[in-house]
């Protein structure tokens, strides 16, 4: 399966989905002009991956900030993870960033995927 590697910018998160090295991470800031277009390759990758996932897939979200449009797409990504057997999410947030912690908690209540919360 192809590696999905999108370099982060000031307005877009770094995304690396590499099933050979067991790395599944979205990090940085997410304020793309067209969130749907930006995240479409991620959704497409997950559609393909769910057909032959690893026994355990640990997705890491290390977002510093995301806008409202991105939150919808993050929820879409998390919803796709419900279809990936063995998927779990680690939601990272700065220990003084209550908004990002609460966002992760809200997402965890909306999807049926195990969540773990960690500070960094």
Over the stretch 69-86, which tens digit does the pLDDT of each residue have? 999 999 999 999 999 999
Cα(56)–Cα(53) distance, integer angstroms: 8
Confidence band, pLDDT 50/70/90 cuts, at residue 94:
very high
Cα(71)–Cα(67) distance, integer angstroms: 6
pLDDT at 1 over 90: no
4-119 topology per CATH: Transcription Regulator spoIIAA (3.30.750)
Contact yes or no for 39/4 (Cβ under 8 A): no
pTM over 0.85: yes
**Beta-carbon contacts of residue 75 (< 8 Å; ≥ 6 apart):** 107, 110, 111
Q: How confident is the model at residue 23, as a pLDDT?
A: 97
φ/ψ region of 48 (left if φ > 0, alpha if ψ in -120 to 50, else beta) reads alpha
Domain boundaries, the chain: 4-119
pLDDT tens string 11-53? 999 999 999 999 999 999 999 999 999 999 999 999 999 999 9
């Amino acid at each position: 399966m192809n590696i999905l590697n999108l370099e982060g910018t000031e307005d877009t998160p770094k995304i690396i989905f590499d099933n050979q090295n067991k790395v599944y991470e979205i990090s940085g800031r997410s304020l793309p002009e067209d969130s749907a277009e930006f995240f479409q390759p991620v959704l497409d990758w997950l559609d393909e991956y769910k057909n032959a996932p690893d026994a355990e897939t640990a997705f890491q979200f290390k977002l510093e900030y995301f806008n409202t449009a991105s939150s919808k797409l993050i929820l879409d990504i998390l919803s796709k993870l419900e279809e990936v057997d063995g998927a779990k999410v680690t939601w990272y947030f700065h220990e003084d960033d209550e908004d990002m912690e609460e966002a992760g908690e809200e997402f965890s209540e909306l999807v049926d995927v195990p969540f773990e919360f960690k500070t960094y």
